[in-house]
Amino acid sequence: MKQIHVGMVGYKFMGKAHSHAYRDIPMFFPNTIQPVMQAVCGRDADGVSKAAKQFGWNEYVTDWKELVQREDIDLIDINAPSDMHKEITLAAAKAGKHLFCEKPLALSLKDSREMLEAAEAAGVKHMVGFNYRFAPAVQLARKLIQEGRLGQIYHFRGWFLQDWILDPDFPLVWRLQKDVAGSGSHGDLGAHTIDLAHYLIGDIEEVIGMSETFIKERPLPGSMSGLSAKGSQSNEKGEVTVDDATMFLARFGNGALGSFEATRFAAGHRCTNSFEINGSKGSVKFDFERMNELQVYFTDDAEDVQGFRRILATDPAHAYAEAWWPPGHTIGFEHTFIHETVELLQAIEEDRQPVPNFADGVKCQQVLEAVELSITERRWVQTKEL
């Protein structure tokens, strides 16, 4: 079986998720090109060495510039903080490496477009990490829409709610700093909802939004990992430079209307990533906290049995289900990354671009910045303006 040697930059939350995907593919998807976990890279030698051993990488390095030049690396996986995405991508593309970059693609639309241009010029495969597309229930929702079984689509409502920074004493982690993260809930959570809307409904043409930063200052961090952190021993505080919550309205190119909400201040919501879509023939509802389920309603059901039905997307008729367990035996968050990585590896093997790729990342960034412009100028903004 053909192999592809992977070099990964980053080893925290997303690094663990990506590593898990590479490790599980040989067991559950043995007929695709197989990943070799060649080397993982991180700035902290002690931390990355422990991660390499725990996650199953052959070796570790502390210099990503060395990693992208190695002849024994075919694919560069980038899940470092967002401010590093562009520089690593440009160097890896120039070195002729295939690219797998976590979202958001970059800190700005300009940088995102530059990354796409570099990847296209290099002739390499490129993928952006919108993993939620790969839940079988989401794939089912798209299938129903593509087949016309929901009819003409009228509405998309999407919301991604979390509460992990509700405590005002939670430290000022990198995700709360604009120069590192790009934006707050809008780019971190809202980007996923925007991508799902693009995937399920189509292109967004115009937007109008509002946002708020509820906690303006936070204690400086002593240490941080993933979505957890501890404060420093000093009493110093730093400014929060991103949004805590953003909401916007949208109009799609096909005439559908959309509403979007992203917040880290929704008490009781650990990871409520949800959408509802209404069409002329039916509706669907999805909540990632119940990720194996899709609520489906059809208007042509008999009147005495009309209502939303719960579809458990674990049967062979559902995407990726045959690789896993008997019907009714559910899968979890980590499986979305496995399915995503399978798409990337199959695309490399079949000599095509994976989906979603950097073009999808650029399109998402375009909407993110259109919303930001609408907030600044307090008006509707067409995405083609950017």
Express each pLDDT in 144-184 by its tens digit: 999 999 999 999 999 999 999 999 999 999 999 999 988 99
pLDDT of res. 155: 98
Token representation of residue 126: 């490129």
Lowest average pLDDT, out of 173-187, 212-226, 328-342, goes to 212-226
Asked, as a colleague might, if the bond just before 35 is cis with ω within 30 of 0, I would say no
Bridge partners (DSSP) of residue 3 are 34
Q: How large a percentage of the chain has pLDDT more than 90?
A: 94
> Does this chain's domain 3-131 share its CATH topology with 133-354+364-377?
no
Asked, as a colleague might, if the bond just before 356 is cis with ω within 30 of 0, I would say yes
Express each pLDDT in 44-72 by its tens digit: 999 999 999 999 999 999 999 999 999 99
pLDDT of res. 1: 72
Token representation of residue 99: 């690219």
- 335 with 314: CB under 8 angstroms? no
Say which CATH class 133-354+364-377 falls into: alpha beta
Length of the chain: 386
DSSP assigned state of 289: G
Q: What single string gives the DSSP state of each residue in 186-244?
A: IIIIIHHHHHHHHHHT--EEEEEEEEE-S--EEEPEEEEETTEEEE-SS--EEE--S-S
Residue 226: pLDDT band (50, 70, 90) is low
What is the identity of the amino acid at 110? K
Identify the burial level of 381 via C-beta atoms within 10 angstroms of its C-beta, where 0-12 means exposed, 13-18 middle and 19 or more buried. buried
pLDDT of res. 229: 66
* CA angle at 204 for the pair 151 and 179, rounded to the nearest 5°: 145
- 272 with 159: CB under 8 angstroms? yes
- 374 with 248: CB under 8 angstroms? yes
Determine how many CB atoms are found less than 10 A away from the CB of residue 222. Answer: 12
Express each pLDDT in 298-307 by its tens digit: 999 999 999 9
Domain segments of the chain: what residues?
3-131, 133-354+364-377
Residue 350: pLDDT band (50, 70, 90) is very high
Bridge partners (DSSP) of residue 40 are 8, 60
Whole-angstrom distance, CA of residue 234 vs CA of residue 206 = 45
- Domain covering 3-131 assigned CATH 3.40.50.720 in the classification: yes
Q: How many alpha carbons lie under 13 Å from residue 246 in its C-beta half-sphere?
A: 27
3-state secondary structure of 144: helix
pLDDT of res. 224: 63
235 vs 153: which has the higher pLDDT: 153
